[in-house]
Amino acid sequence: MVRRRWIADEVSGDRAFLIGDHADHLTRVLRARVGDHFDIATGAAVRSGRIASIADGRVEFVLSEEIPGKCLSEITLVLSIFKFDRMEWAIEKCTELGVSRIVPVIAQRTDSHLAAASPKRVERWRRIARQASEQSRRAVPPEVAAPIKVAEALTVPGTFRILLSEVEERTRLRDVVKADAPDDGIVLAVGPEGGWTEGELQSFQQAGWTSASLGNTILRAETAAIAAIAIVASALSSF
């Protein structure tokens, strides 16, 4: 049976700790007890952990041998902000698929109320990414950055940067990544509901981004993000 994996809140030598709601979920919901074994991600490695003590809002593990793990591909998702429930679903699923960094972006077609509220959602997005990482047995969660505007998104670093565009007719994402996927990963930008504006498309092009399409159908923003990350992750894993 595959053991549940947890990402430690604190690590000190051969001891690791879950704290607060993180610890309460393990003890109250999953009913873990002293002596139970789990895999514990410490940031530097994943190690076998045995529960040594349980207190209110705190679980202590004794760590032992390191558990071999696979390295994830470097995929940065530049994700325009859209309806929060759908965006949270996209963050969860893209985390499961292996994205390494998520950069929320306020685009011209981002609803003004969502844009204003987005800074207060960052901690929730990070918590969702952490939970999805544990569920999918990742060693570390993706970084979730604070929201930025398109002008800043244009300069997100990466040797291979791809803009998903509904108006792109010739270049498909799957063909681009098969031909040119670099060793150091990919940056992928997904637009908001309604897509990128013409001015934004021009700005990305002038900044050196490659435009690509997911196909002839128009997808919801969350569907496009998940499909794109799946395509890119699959392509990178084959190199």
pLDDT given at position 43: 79
**According to the model, what pLDDT value does residue 196 have?**
95
Instruction: Quote the pLDDT of residue 185.
Output: 74
* Each residue's pLDDT tens digit, 1-14: 567 888 899 999 99
What is the value of pTM for the model shown?
A: 0.81
- Domain end (from 66, 84, 112): 66
> Could you tell me if 192 and 82 lie in one domain?
yes
Regarding whether 57 and 86 lie in a shared domain, the answer is no
Same domain, 18 and 92: no
Claim to verify: residue 21 and residue 129 sit in the same structural domain: no
Q: Please report, in tens digits, the pLDDT of each residue of the chain (239 residues total).
A: 567 888 899 999 999 999 998 888 888 888 889 999 998 888 778 888 999 999 988 999 999 988 876 656 789 999 999 999 999 999 999 999 999 999 999 999 999 999 999 999 999 999 999 999 988 888 889 999 999 999 999 999 888 899 999 888 889 998 888 756 565 679 999 999 999 999 999 999 999 999 999 988 889 999 999 999 999 988 877 54
Q: What is the CATH number of the domain that holds 191?
A: 3.40.1280.10
CATH number for the domain including 52? 2.40.240.20
Q: What local confidence, expressed as pLDDT, does residue 7 receive?
A: 87
- Residue type present at position 180: D
The domain boundary, picked from 48, 66, 84, lies at 66
The predicted pLDDT at position 69 comes to 65
Query: Residue 25 has what pLDDT?
Result: 85
Structural domain that includes position 152: 75-237
Is 147 in the same domain as 47? no
Indicate if 151 and 47 belong to the same structural domain.
no
Q: Cα angle at 17 between 16 and 20, to 5 degrees?
A: 165
Q: Does residue 32 share a domain with residue 10?
A: yes
Tokens of 78: 């530049």
Name the residue with tokens 């998702």: 77
**83 and 40 both lie in a single domain:** no
97 and 213 belong to one structural domain = yes
Q: What is the DSSP string of 103-163?
A: EEEE-TTS-HHHHHHGGGGHHHHHHHHHHHHHHTT-SSPPEEPPPEEHHHHTT---SSEEE
Supply the pLDDT for residue 210. Answer: 94
Domain-terminating residue out of 46, 66, 86:
66
Confirm if 60 and 33 have CB atoms less than 8 A apart: no
Describe the crossing of helices 221-237 and 173-180 by its angle, rounded to 10 degrees: 30
Model pLDDT, residue 71: 56
Same domain, 44 and 146: no
The closest of 176, 161, 168, 173 to 206, measured between CA atoms, is 161
Same domain, 79 and 62: no
Does 58 share its domain with 87?
Answer: no
Q: Give the span between the Cα atoms of 164 and 155, in whole angstroms.
A: 16
Burial class (CB in 10 A: 0-12, 13-18, 19+), 78: buried
Domains in the chain, number? 2
